[in-house]
A and B are shown apart, each in its own frame.
Chain A
Amino acid sequence: MAGFTVDEIEDIRIAVSEVLLALIEHGGGQSIDVEFVVEAQEFRVRGRTAVQDFDADHPDLLLCRTVLAGVGTDHGIELVDDHAQIWAAVTHASIP
């Protein structure tokens, strides 16, 4: 995480919070698997939980998407093999 600015770390905090919040509120109450990947220029968080019903287009998730789009460089909310999967990436701005 060396090199990430204070603001970027705040963005990471928000992104992680949103990913977990969405899975807690819209998941099936099962355990949530969370993966963090830190590379030189990018932090990525991915959360996954088993669901029986999952509406990736739920209105509450629209706000989540808006927040993730505002703090991250990429994100996704999807249903894969009966699992809700949400991920977000925050990229460290390169110094020109």
Chain B
Amino acid sequence: MTEMGNHDSLTVDSDPAGVIVVHGDIDVAGRPILEAALLERENDGPIIIDLGDVFFVDSSGLRSLLGASRRAKARDSIVVLRGVRPEVLRLLEITGTTEHFSIEPSRG
């Protein structure tokens, strides 16, 4: 696992398969860390983000994910959210944004 960024509330790693693995809260404080990791992966095809260790996302974090989705769509690619916890899925459902992502269960 390669660390891509770290903040008090958020850590972003990259696993050997290139999956962005996020740990912590995606909020206004940790958002820049996630943004940097997403931009680093922008040209590598689909962006897969493992959210299995994310229990909280606020609207600023959601905007980062939506921005990544828009950019991916512009290059005919997608953003995959893997292992989305119920708390985070609820935010996506409340805001009607589930359609902007491919949502997969966690692996293993």
Residues of chain B touching chain A, judged by Cβ–Cβ distance below 8 Å, are 27-28, 56, 58-60, 62-63, 87, 91, 94-96
How many pairs of A and B residues are in contact by the CB < 8 Å rule? 38
B24 to chain A, nearest CB (A): 14
Could you list some 22 contacts between A and B, CB below 8 A? A10-B87, A14-B91, A17-B27, A17-B58, A18-B58, A18-B59, A21-B28, A21-B59, A24-B28, A25-B28, A25-B60, A63-B59, A63-B62, A63-B63, A64-B59, A66-B59, A66-B96, A67-B59, A67-B91, A67-B94, A67-B95, A71-B94
Say whether B28 contacts A13, CB under 8 Å: no
By a beta-carbon cutoff of 8 Å, the part of chain A in contact with chain B is 10, 13-14, 17-18, 21, 24-25, 60, 63-64, 66-67, 70-71
Minimal Cβ-Cβ distance residue in B for A69: B94
A76 CB, min distance to chain B CBs, angstroms = 16
Q: What CA separation (Å) do A14 and B58 show in the bound complex? A: 7
Chain A's interface: helix, strand, loop or mixed, by majority?
A: helix
B28 CB contacts on chain A under 8 angstroms: 21, 24-25
CA distance A24 to B59 in the complex (A): 13
Contacts A10-B87, A24-B28 given: A70-B59 contact, CB under 8 Å?
no
Taking CB as reference atom, which chain B residue is nearest A20? Answer: B28
Q: Report the bound CA distance from A45 to B63 in whole Å.
A: 23
A residues in contact with B96, CB < 8 Å: 66
Interface contact A70-B58, CB-CB below 8 Å: no
**Complex Cα gap A71–B59 (Å):** 12
B91: which A residues are within 8 A, CB to CB?
14, 67, 70
CB–CB A66/B27 < 8 A: no
A63 in contact with B95 given A10-B87, A25-B28 (CB within 8 Å): yes
A17 — which chain B residues lie within 8 A by C-beta? 27, 56, 58
Residue of A nearest to B28 (CB): A21
